[in-house]
Amino acid sequence: MKKSDSWHWALALPAAVWLLMLLYDLDLRPPHHDEGVNGWYIMQMWRQGFFRYDPNNYHGPLFFYLLQLSETLFGKGIVSLRLVTVVFAAANTLLVLAHRRFFGRIALWAALALAFSTASIFYGRYAIHETVFIFFQLLFSFGYFNYARRVSWRRGVVCMTAGFFGTVLIKETFFIFFGTWFIALMLVAVLARFLPEADVQEESPLPEVKGKLKNKRAVQPVFAPPDHRRFLFRTIGAGLLVTLLVYSGFLMNPHGVIDMVVALAPWLKTGMGSSGHEKPFFYWLNLMRLYEWPALAALVATAFLGWRTSRLGRFWCALAVGGVLAYSLIPYKTPWLILNLIWPLCFVFGYGVETIRQRWPVVGKGLVYLAAALLVAASAGLAARLTFRYPDDPKQRYVYTHSFKSIVDLTDHIERVCARHPEAKNMRIVVAIQQTWPLPWTLSDYPDLHFDPFKAGKPVRGDVLLVDIQDQPAVEAMLDAPYYRVSGRLRDAYTDILYYYREARFKDTWQGAGTLVGPPPGPQEPAP
């Protein structure tokens, strides 16, 4: 075995731990509000035959087709949905590692930092768009450096095209990424005129171009194939065609193409207006302080690396800081958006480690590798603690508007009855609370399911009742039979709710605590 290949074996144990953290007990956390919404969209796709794009949804259609594919392969369920993001979370780390061809050990440290990032693991086990969105950003990056480092013209064009259109197909916020990427390139070009560059050894240095180019047409890469124009047009045309097909529901909803163009307006209204998700400017820094120590160390390091590093190192510093500033300036903030900030900071982390190692090869190597390894290990510990010990604890900042375990207890009670009495599948379930997600998806297998917010004076009848805590007196005054009453919560930032299970239906399978409440006494007969 070559000495240069020894790093493969050194990563065997971290890789096994990382995969275990991504895959173990995927249904440990109750379905989130957004996961329920995404699952409900898949139900509509099965009925309609396509995804009807709505610009007010703030997400492109591709993710829903991926979820539907997973449901086709593995059946309906939260594990099936979450497997999609697990696959892409793994692919994200592997794509960062693939940058080793351009950045050497820098990419190796970046891959370790991303693999054990708390957000990468926690939200990688979470069926929402952000992890897939990051994949296409990284794919674009991989293609760009294939082109810029003169490695493969065709691979560079294909990956950049797929990355660009992939982000367009996932989320309307793709313009933030490409805006910061373009600004970072321009800024680095300007700074190159004023700031000296330090020598940081990367895997393959850029080729030197001798002499001056008098003819602007001669700027094209020397490694481009003879049919480069035709290949470029075909690749971009294929990306555009796929994008139009997916947004139009494969021609079953042509108006989706128009909605794709106008989608930015609803997003700006939500992102810059009042949505209930407004956070302060330093929100991301606080999250990094709590969970993302390698990323926070990298952000601090940009103040030093930005002045004395290589041109590419300066680019990653500019991209990382630009992303943090862009997402900090936007009032709308949900914690999973931090994934957009973390992956560029992981490359800065790698540059910081290798810069110290190369400047002080004797003393610095041992110290910086130890410090970097400890930061990654600490991040892995934080990720494991959050993912497996406090996955639905609202005190944790990454646990955001999440469902409580009581909705899992609800489905467990119902499934036990149905397992013993198959006819119970047709029991009447009445959800009389004001906010309901993710219940329209988690309870969708039961045909006699009703969503009917409680109204004073209107009796609530069913085998299972869900009511808001403030409606308890009125509901219990109209009960027609004994019920097991269980208190619980739907999710954080919403009032407590009560679950009522009809005793006659559940008594032979009942497990757990519950207060048996009966109908109110009838009118008393007058004493003789």
| Percent of the chain with pLDDT strictly greater than 90 | 66
Separation between Cα atoms, residue 132 and residue 33, nearest integer Å = 18
Run of H or E residues at 83: helix 78-98
pLDDT band at 209 (very low <50, low <70, confident <90, very high): very low
Higher pLDDT, 355 or 378: 378
pLDDT of residue 11: 75
215 has a pLDDT exceeding 70:
no
266 has a pLDDT exceeding 80:
no
Laid out side by side, the sheet with 449-451 consists of 449-451, 429-431, 464-468, 496-502, 483-489, 515-517
pLDDT of residue 400: 92
pLDDT, one tens digit per residue, over 158-196 is 999 999 999 999 987 888 999 999 999 999 988 888 777
Q: What is the mean pLDDT of residues 438-461?
A: 91
5 has a pLDDT exceeding 80:
no
pLDDT of residue 298: 96
Contact 420, 453 (CB under 8 A): no
pLDDT of residue 200: 73
Higher pLDDT, 397 or 519: 397
Run of H or E residues at 485: strand 483-489
pLDDT band at 212 (very low <50, low <70, confident <90, very high): very low
pLDDT of residue 362: 72
Q: Which residue's entry shows tokens 């991301």? A: 284
Half-sphere exposure of 318 (CA within 13 A, CB side): 23
pLDDT band at 6 (very low <50, low <70, confident <90, very high): low
pLDDT, one tens digit per residue, over 503-519 is 999 999 998 788 899 88
Question: What predicted TM-score, i.e. pTM, was given to this entire model?
Answer: 0.89
pLDDT, one tens digit per residue, over 27-58 is 999 999 999 999 999 999 999 999 998 887 77
pLDDT of residue 514: 84
Contact 482, 503 (CB under 8 A): yes
Q: What is the mean pLDDT of residues 449-453?
A: 93
Separation between Cα atoms, residue 374 and residue 499, nearest integer Å = 46
Q: What is the mean pLDDT of residues 403-410?
A: 92
- Find residue 489's DSSP bridge partners: 496
Separation between Cα atoms, residue 372 and residue 412, nearest integer Å = 44
Can you state the percent helix, strand and coil of the chain, rounding each to 5? 60, 5, 35
pLDDT band at 272 (very low <50, low <70, confident <90, very high): low
Q: What is the mean pLDDT of residues 359-373?
A: 84
Alpha-carbon Rg for the chain, nearest whole angstrom, is 27
Separation between Cα atoms, residue 335 and residue 337, nearest integer Å = 5
375 has a pLDDT exceeding 90:
yes
pLDDT of residue 264: 67
pLDDT, one tens digit per residue, over 128-143 is 999 999 999 999 999 9
What single-letter amino acid sits at 203? E
**Residue 361, preceding bond cis, omega within 30 degrees?**
no
Angstrom CA distances, 77 to 36, 128, 418, 443, stand at: 10, 14, 17, 11
pLDDT band at 13 (very low <50, low <70, confident <90, very high): confident
Neighbours of 132 (CB within 10 A): 26
Contact 287, 115 (CB under 8 A): no
Higher pLDDT, 493 or 269: 493
Contact 328, 284 (CB under 8 A): yes
Longest dimension (CA), the chain: 118
What single-letter amino acid sits at 228? H
Task: Give exposure, 480-492, as e/b (b: 16+ Cβ within 10 Å).
Answer: eebbbbbebbbbb
Report the mean per-residue pLDDT for the chain.
88
* Domain locations along the chain: 8-207+223-389, 406-517
pLDDT, one tens digit per residue, over 56-115 is 777 889 999 999 999 999 999 999 999 999 999 999 999 999 999 999 899 999 999 999
